């Protein structure tokens, strides 16, 4: 699976086109410079990053970029033909709106290749003050229809949109055909079972959620306790799950907890699992999807390197083999090993629960 | 301050729904939001029947709003949404950006529901330029942030606050009521009709925590801002929203109305306590975990 950095990768047009059978762009996460270098060195077409505060949806301690690091990352990527997108995808309030708008200006100065935004005020500011800066609509904007996409396209010139992980493959096909903007979908990583950008489950129990705070189940509200009944995970004091001896203890995300209903204790929303759409790559390409996004800015550089390498190989194989493409078992095994809960799912793209 | 009766979020059989609105016609609410906004498979009434119901309520002196679905996935739903947005009889309340787009293109005013992510004054202003004439603040918006948006609202735009009811927290393509029954969504058997107030989930140590309502997840606790009425008055918000529940909604409406008309707030709050199934919450209002409750006025 050895891939040379940037070798033979065509430049894309930044998301203005959604024409079919174009090579899909591989968009990889970077929570810091080492991860950015890992993504670039292992075959990402684009890397997405965030500033070191709550202006993005991965506001975790020790993660993200200050302006100097962002400049260094952009230079490193650009020298190797890789684009850098900056996520400014949380929702500012009146008291901190200026910080978000300032972040837009800073990103424009840094020369990022696109901004990934959700809030209308942020989009409006970018459109007015930096009309040449390409705008991508974040998954946090929860746009699930061509009508919603048209709103953001017409009013703010959005060129590309990341779809919530709730649509089926057939729905994505229909959407791409009618969308005024290029479409990016999640290919691999953590799976939100709720529509992104419209979930305040974490805020109910911890006081903080992605929309306003850029974080889901913040570390300071998480506690693991050894009890006579086994290891227990809590969020804001609320019991999210209890684990049998030897059972793998997952992070206490509200939608991945086990709750009691009548006499049963069960995963009320979803088993802990990760999204993996490798099997769907040919269908996504046929549908005209422009880019595949890998989730995980909070993951290690080694993780980013491994996942990027596999997805680069898969996209290259898809380009070479077309309809004959079949994911290699070794890729699937490696991705499953890297996944939360050591299980993967096709998510809503394929709907066994439907 | 005016009172808005939000749309019924739960699956109620036709007779129950019609009986509810027959009663509501006599309640001291100013505005009634109509429509099935959570799951279109419920389809208790069709589009024309909702309009007929709207006429009935309008004849009783209510302002009627038609609320749009919270999550739109299919072209068929989008077509129904378009018809709803094109009605020229009632104001439409948009609950997602698809509806905002269709309404903004129609050149007529529209309302924004609590599901729209309006968190700052500039977002409100941009939407107002496109026809938004009223917004219902997202329930998780803290008082201070709400006050700032309200203070800077464009002229003529009214602010509504979600003041009573279980809080809608998340939506999914999946149906968690069907999942609880081990059924697939397409063969759900409309299991949600067994839960007139949703299905209560407890933590493993016995705390009520969430409510499953089909594709929607709500708080187990009922948001109750009646104890904050003085603060709401000082802010000058124009409307309070009450979200229907299967029992006691009339008592809730009358308690709010009485408090607004000057009745003893403590007594009105006490009347509400008997109407709250699990317990009250107001954490979001204070910028704290939403399930928490301070209750008394600070």
Residue B136 CA, chain-centre distance (Å), reads 9
A200 and chain B: CB distance < 8 Å anywhere? Answer: yes
DSSP B48-100: HHHHHHHHHHHHTT-EEEEEPPS---SHHHHHHHHHHHT-SSSEEEE-SHHHH
Model confidence pLDDT, tens digit, residues B184-239: 888 899 999 999 999 999 999 999 999 999 999 999 999 999 999 999 999 999 99
Q: What is the pLDDT of residues A277-289, one digit of tens each?
A: 999 999 999 999 9
Strands A160-162 and B158-171: unpaired
Instruction: Report DSSP letters for B227-296, one per residue.
Output: GGHHHHHHHT-SEEEE---SSSHHHHHHHHHHHHTT--HHHHHHHHHTT-SS-EE-TGGGTS-TT----S
- Residue B169: which of A204, A258, A261 has the nearest Cβ? A204
Instruction: State phi, psi for A25 to the nearest 5 degrees.
Output: -85, 140
CA distance A191 to A347: 7
Question: Residue B25 is part of which domain span?
Answer: 2-166+221-277
Q: What is the CA radius of gyration of chain A?
A: 20
- Look at the block and give the residue holding tokens 């004959």: A324
Task: Please report residues of B whose CB lies closer than 8 A to that of A89.
Answer: none
Mean pLDDT, rounded, for A192-198: 93
3-class DSSP state of B224: strand
Residues of B in contact with A167 (CB under 8 A): 73, 173
Taking the CA atoms of residue A169, residue A171, residue A172 and residue A175 in that order, the dihedral angle to the nearest 10 degrees is: 160
> Does the distance separating the beta carbons of A200 and B140 come in below 8 Å?
yes
Question: Across the interface, do B152 and A94 touch by the CB < 8 Å criterion?
Answer: yes
Q: Which residue of A has its CA nearest to B281?
A: A204
Q: Kindly list the distances between the CA atom of residue A112 and the CA atoms of A28, A43, A80, A137, A280, in Å, as whole numbers in the listed order.
A: 15, 19, 15, 15, 30
Going by C-beta distance under 8 Å and a sequence separation of 6 or more, which residues neighbour residue B182?
A: none
> Taking residues A163-189, what's their average pLDDT?
93
Match 């009320």 to its residue by tokens.
A268
Each residue of B59-115: pLDDT tens digit? 999 999 999 999 999 999 999 999 999 999 999 999 999 999 999 988 889 999 999
A336 neighbors A264 (Cβ within 8 angstroms): no
How large is the ipTM?
A: 0.96
> pLDDT tens, B158-174?
999 999 999 999 999 99
Residue B167 to residue A204, Cβ atoms within 8 A: yes
DSSP A183: E
Per-residue pLDDT tens over the stretch A50-83: 999 999 888 888 899 999 999 999 999 999 999 9
Q: Is there a contact between B212 and B223 (Cβ–Cβ < 8 Å)? A: no
The answer to whether the beta carbons of residues A71 and A112 sit under 8 Å apart is no
Instruction: Let me know if residue B131 belongs to a domain.
Output: yes
Parts of chain A belonging to CATH 3.20.20.380: 25-191+273-349
Residue B68 lies in a domain: yes
The topology under which CATH files domain A25-191+273-349 is TIM Barrel (3.20.20)
A142 and B291 within 8 Å at the Cβ level: the answer is no
Domain count, chain B: 1
Q: Is residue B204 part of a domain?
A: no
Strands (E), chain A: 25-29, 46-50, 83-88, 114-117, 135-137, 160-162, 182-190, 222-227, 230-235, 238-243, 258-261, 264-267, 274-276, 291-294, 344-345
From chain B residues 69-88, the ones with a CB under 8 A of any chain A CB are: 70-75, 78, 81
Identify which of B74, B121, B139 has the shortest CB distance to residue A94. B121
Antiparallel, parallel or unpaired: β B216-224 and B208-213: antiparallel
| pLDDT mean over A4-28 | 56
CB-nearest partner of B203 from A148, A174, A238: A238
| Cα(B92)–Cα(B98) distance, integer angstroms | 13
Q: Is residue B39 part of a domain?
A: yes
Q: Which of residues 22-61 of B touch A (CB under 8 A)?
A: none
- The per-residue pLDDT for range A99-116, each reduced to its tens digit, is 999 999 999 999 999 999
Query: Per the structure block, which two tokens stand in for B263?
Result: 């009745």
Q: Scanning every residue of chain A, which has its alpha carbon at the shortest distance from the alpha carbon of B216? A: A194
CATH code of residue B272: 3.20.20.70
């Amino acid at each position: 699976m050895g891939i040379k950095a940037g070798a033979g990768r065509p430049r894309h047009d930044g998301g203005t086109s959604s024409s079919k059978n174009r090579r899909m762009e591989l968009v990889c996460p970077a929570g810091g410079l080492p991860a950015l270098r890992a993504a670039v060195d292992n075959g990402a077409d684009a890397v997405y990053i965030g500033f070191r505060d709550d202006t993005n949806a991965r506001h975790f301690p020790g993660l993200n970029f200050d302006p100097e690091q962002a400049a260094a990352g952009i230079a490193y990527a650009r020298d190797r033909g890789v684009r850098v997108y900056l996520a400014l995808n949380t929702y500012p309030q009146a008291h901190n709106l200026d910080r978000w708008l300032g972040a837009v200006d800073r990103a424009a100065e840094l020369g990022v290749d696109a901004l990934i935004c959700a809030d209308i005020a942020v989009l409006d500011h970018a459109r007015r003050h930096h009309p040449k800066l390409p705008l991508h609509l974040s998954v946090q904007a929860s746009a699930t229809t061509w009508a919603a996409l048209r709103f953001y396209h017409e009013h703010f010139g959005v060129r590309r949109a990341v779809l919530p992980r709730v649509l089926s493959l057939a729905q994505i096909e229909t959407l791409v055909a009618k969308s005024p903007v290029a479409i990016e979908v999640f290919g691999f990583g953590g799976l939100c079972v709720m529509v992104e950008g419209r979930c305040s489950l974490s805020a109910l129990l911890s006081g903080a959620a992605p929309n306003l705070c850029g974080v889901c189940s913040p570390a300071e509200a998480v506690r693991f306790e050894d009890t006579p009944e086994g290891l227990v995970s809590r969020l804001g004091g609320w019991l999210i799950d209890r684990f049998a001896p030897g059972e793998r203890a997952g992070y206490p995300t509200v939608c991945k907890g086990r709750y009691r209903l009548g006499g049963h204790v069960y995963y009320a929303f979803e088993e802990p699992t990760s999204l993996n759409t490798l099997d769907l790559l040919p269908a996504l390409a046929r549908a005209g999807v422009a880019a595949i996004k890998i989730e995980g800015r909070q993951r290690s550089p080694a993780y980013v390197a491994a996942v990027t390498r596999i997805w680069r190989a898969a996209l290259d194989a898809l380009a070479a083999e077309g309809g004959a493409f079949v994911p290699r078992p070794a890729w699937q095994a490696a991705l499953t090993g890297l996944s939360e809960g050591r299980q993967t799912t096709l998510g809503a793209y394929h709907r066994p629960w439907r | 301050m005016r009172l808005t009766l939000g749309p019924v979020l739960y699956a109620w059989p036709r007779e129950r729904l019609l009986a509810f609105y027959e009663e509501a016609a006599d309640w001291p609410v100013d505005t009634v939001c109509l429509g099935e906004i959570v799951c279109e498979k419920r389809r208790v009434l069709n589009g024309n029947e909702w309009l007929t119901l709207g006429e009935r309520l309008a004849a009783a002196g209510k302002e009627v709003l038609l609320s749009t679905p919270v999550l739109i996935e299919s072209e068929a739903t989008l077509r129904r949404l378009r018809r709803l947005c094109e009605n020229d009889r009632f104001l439409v309340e948009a609950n997602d950006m698809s509806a905002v787009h269709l309404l903004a293109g129609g050149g007529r005013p529209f309302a924004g529901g609590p599901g729209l992510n309006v968190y700052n004054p500039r977002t409100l202003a941009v939407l107002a330029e496109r026809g938004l004439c009223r917004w219902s603040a997202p329930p998780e918006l803290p008082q201070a942030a709400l006050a700032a948006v309200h203070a800077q609202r464009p002229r003529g735009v009214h602010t509504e606050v979600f003041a009573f009811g279980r809080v809608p927290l998340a939506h999914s393509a999946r149906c968690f009521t069907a999942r609880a029954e081990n059924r697939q969504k397409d063969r759900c058997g409309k299991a949600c009709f067994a839960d007139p107030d949703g299905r209560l989930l407890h933590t493993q140590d016995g705390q009520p925590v969430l409510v499953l309502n089909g594709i929607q997840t709500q708080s187990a606790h009922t948001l109750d801002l009646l104890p904050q009425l003085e603060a709401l008055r000082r802010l000058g918000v124009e409307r309070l929203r009450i979200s229907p529940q299967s029992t006691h909604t009339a008592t809730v409406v009358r308690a709010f109305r009485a408090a607004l008309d000057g009745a003893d707030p403590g007594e009105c709050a006490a009347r509400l306590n008997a109407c709250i199934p699990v317990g009250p919450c107001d954490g979001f209002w204070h910028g704290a975990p939403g399930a928490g409750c301070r209750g008394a006025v600070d």
